[in-house]
Amino acid sequence: MKRLLDKDKTMGYTLKLISEHIDHNTDYLIEQDEKSGKKNYKIKGIFMQADIKNRNGRMYPMEILSKEVNRYNKEYVNENRAFGELGHPDGPTVNLERASHMITSLQPDGKNFIGEAKILSTPMGGIVKSLMDDGAKLGVSSRGMGSLDQKNGANVVRKDFYLATAADIVADPSAPNAFVEGIMEGKEWIWNNGLIQEAEVQQIKDNIEENHRTNNSAADSLEFARFLQKL
């Protein structure tokens, strides 16, 4: 997110959480080591798409998505820290306690970005492996932050788009509940000096600090009560 902060290091940027489910089957790769008998589990398929209006009514211009994927590859995939989670997280950051896989490749193929991920030996990774062994149908969902412009009947992702993870592992894409319907309303997040915070909570924190500076203890107490309700 450095490029946004470089615009004005003293200014926070409020963005929406954007999550997309890909309507394509994910291939399973299960390889067994002949000597140790250990199984290595991988998933491979289309992780992201550009210049196509998706079922959520959004479109990612190729120029914007390609640039962001290049950054993601450089900062995360190539450094072996491109993790994803099992399920639909409700925030923009990856919780390592819920990490189930590590994305090892993300490459363009026409308008598609083909990804490959290794299933980890973590508690959540173990669940994914069991699901794969039992023949469960799984899909992938990308997660990022950004703002949108309405153009030609589509919500077009703008240049401030930031890819948090190219793939979370989710349930059967044919099940309606498996899809994230649009941007999560009411969930705005603020980037401020490299930190990600929910915008409303951040505003309460700012109000408390201002009240403290002006010795307004009554207002301070009210803001603190609001803060506790948000936890």
What is the longest distance spanned by two Cα atoms in the chain? 71
Q: Which of 88, 100, 217, 221 is catalytic?
A: 88
What residues does 101 pair with on adjacent strands? Answer: 84, 119
Question: Cα 44 vs. chain centroid, distance in angstroms?
Answer: 18
Our answer to whether residue 88 is catalytic in this structure is yes
> Are the CB atoms for 20 and 180 separated by under 8 Å?
yes
> Are the CB atoms for 224 and 210 separated by under 8 Å?
no
Q: Which of 19, 21, 101, 141 is catalytic?
A: 141
> What residues are labeled active site?
88, 141
